[in-house]
């Protein structure tokens, strides 16, 4: 079965949008067959090799884990076996306890010592409809018994003692990527099993690729030049690279490169990097960050960072690029919401900056190439003020592309409004906690 689960980042809609674009660009996307707010279940056109899965995982900013589906249950079985309230149905427990999928994950276990763990992902994190902690430990125990029955010398699983880092009151039912790495849980005969709940199904999958959280934390915190006020998160940078269609070997341009976060992510994905920034200190900072990362990784990155105005990008760089991705100047950081009139004025000024930048950028973008960027949405004292996308691409050959296209979801049947996706979006909201200037993500193509 070419069915995979992708464990999504916090912004689940943006994560799904990114996933569709990345898999589509690789020519392996068939459809999203099901989803929750924590995972997407994707049918691919072919079975993906371990190497491909690791590559896809690394390229996605909004994906924590990828697993290959080995079993699908009606979700009612799990709910009846481990109800949050009410009566436990014995036959449902027996159905889960059978674990008749275990030999699809572990072919030869005889005489082996096996470490494993189940990570469970509810459909809606704030409102799980089953007792997730008991379910997870129950599955761990039953898998262990099954492995011993099949002849394993020893089987141990991981219990989840640490609370959920984002919400201490919530039991932690999923293994952190760092735990998986520390205990080699992706190396056979060890394994991590993902238990993913959607509105109608429970999918069990074997983890094949996991996000490298330690490497990200290291490059985010240990780099020589940090400017918390302007830096974009490395995860969002990877998402922007995905939406821009950037692949290994491509030349990628960030015309508002700041501290170089996006270029660092691009360099790690074997892309050639070109950056522009108007601030000389920031340019020096970005250069030192890229040099440092190359040194730490033992690699020579191919990068050029130039001082200049993004509106002159076509004159500053004398060659064409394959993809353009950036977080531009989003205007001032307000202490309190501006008036609607002030916010509208600010958005008008920024639109002018972006439009003239896009006019310069399209001259340097290869035909068929894409641009992804964030744009501001200002929370004024009288509602949110957003940017007019027609104005933005005025007098350019760029067109705003649909994210979450309808065709990607054609066989999904979801009834819960909290899970429904309204498709064909021109923009997706990306929340920045506690900020007055929020962001939206858009994708443009040169037609």
Stretch that binds ligand SAM, among 46-54, 173-181, 258-266, 399-407 (CB under 6 A): 258-266
Q: Min. distance of Cβ 252 from ligand SAM in angstroms? A: 12
239 counts as binding ligand SAM under rule CB under 6 A: no
Which residues ranging from 177 to 206 are in contact with ligand SAM (CB under 6 A)? none
Using CB under 6 A as the binding rule, whether residue 230 contacts ligand SAM is answered as yes
Distance between CA atoms of residues 428 and 413, nearest Å? 22
Q: Tally Cβ neighbours within 10 Å of residue 384.
A: 13
Residue from the set 54, 124, 278, 306 that interacts with ligand SAM by CB under 6 A: 278
Q: Is 232 in the site for ligand SAM (CB under 6 A)?
A: yes
Give the residue among 15, 109, 4 at the shortest CA–CA distance from 49.
Answer: 4
Closer to ligand SAM by CB, 190 or 289: give it: 289
Nearest distance from residue 386's CB to ligand SAM, in Å?
18
Selected binder of ligand SAM within 4, 82, 157, 256 (CB under 6 A): 256
Binding pattern for the stretch 294-333 against ligand SAM, x by CB under 6 A and - elsewhere = ---------------xxx---------------xxxx---
Q: Does 36 bind ligand SAM (CB under 6 A)?
A: no
User: 53 or 278: whose CB is closer to ligand SAM?
Assistant: 278
351 near ligand SAM, rule: CB under 6 A: no
Region near ligand SAM per CB under 6 A, out of 12-20, 39-47, 275-283, 401-409:
275-283
Closer residue to ligand SAM, CB minimum distance, 207 or 374: 374
Q: Which residues bind ligand SAM (CB under 6 A)?
A: 230-232, 255-256, 258-259, 261-262, 276-279, 282, 309-311, 327-330
């Amino acid at each position: 079965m070419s069915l995979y689960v992708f464990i999504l980042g916090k912004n689940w809609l943006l994560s799904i949008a990114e996933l569709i674009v990345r898999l589509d660009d690789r020519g392996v996307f068939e459809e999203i067959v099901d989803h929750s707010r924590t995972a997407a279940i994707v049918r691919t056109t072919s079975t993906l090799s371990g190497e491909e899965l690791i590559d896809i995982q690394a390229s996605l900013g909004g994906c924590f884990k990828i697993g290959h589906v080995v079993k699908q249950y009606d979700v009612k079985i799990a709910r009846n076996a481990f109800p949050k309230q009410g009566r436990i149905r014995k036959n449902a427990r027996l159905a889960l306890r059978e674990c008749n999928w275990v030999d699809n994950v572990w072919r030869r276990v005889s005489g082996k010592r096996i470490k494993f763990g189940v990570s469970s992902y509810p459909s809606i994190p704030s409102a799980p409809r089953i007792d997730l902690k008991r379910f997870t430990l129950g599955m761990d125990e039953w898998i262990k018994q099954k492995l011993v029955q099949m002849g394993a010398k020893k089987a141990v699983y991981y219990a989840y003692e640490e609370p959920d880092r984002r919400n201490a009151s919530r039991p932690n039912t999923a293994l952190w990527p760092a735990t998986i790495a520390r205990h080699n849980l992706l190396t056979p005969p060890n394994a991590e099993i993902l238990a993913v709940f959607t509105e109608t199904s429970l999918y069990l999958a074997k983890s094949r690729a996991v996000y490298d959280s330690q490497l990200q934390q290291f490059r985010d915190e240990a780099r020589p030049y940090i400017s918390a006020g302007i830096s974009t998160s490395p995860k969002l940078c990877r998402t922007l690279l995905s939406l821009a269609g950037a692949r290994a070997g491509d030349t990628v341009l960030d015309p508002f490169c700041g501290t170089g976060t996006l270029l660092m992510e691009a360099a790690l994905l074997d892309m050639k990097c070109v950056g522009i920034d108007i601030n000389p200190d920031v340019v020096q900072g970005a250069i030192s960050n890229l040099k440092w990362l190359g040194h730490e990784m033992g690699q020579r990155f191919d990068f050029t960072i130039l001082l200049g105005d993004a509106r002159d990008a076509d004159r500053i760089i004398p060659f064409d690029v394959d993809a353009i991705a950036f977080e531009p100047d989003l205007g001032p950081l307000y202490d309190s919401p501006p008036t609607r009139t002030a916010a509208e004025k600010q958005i008008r000024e920024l639109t002018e900056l972006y439009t003239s930048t896009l006019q310069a950028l399209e001259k340097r973008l290869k035909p068929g190439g894409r641009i992804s960027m964030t744009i501001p949405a200002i929370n004024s004292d009288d509602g949110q003020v957003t940017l007019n996308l027609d104005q933005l691409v005025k007098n350019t050959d760029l067109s705003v592309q649909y994210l979450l296209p309808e065709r990607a979801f054609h066989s999904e049947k979801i009834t819960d409004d909290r899970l429904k996706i309204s498709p064909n979006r021109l923009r997706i909201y990306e929340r920045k906690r506690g900020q007055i200037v929020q962001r939206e993500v858009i994708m443009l193509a040169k037609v």
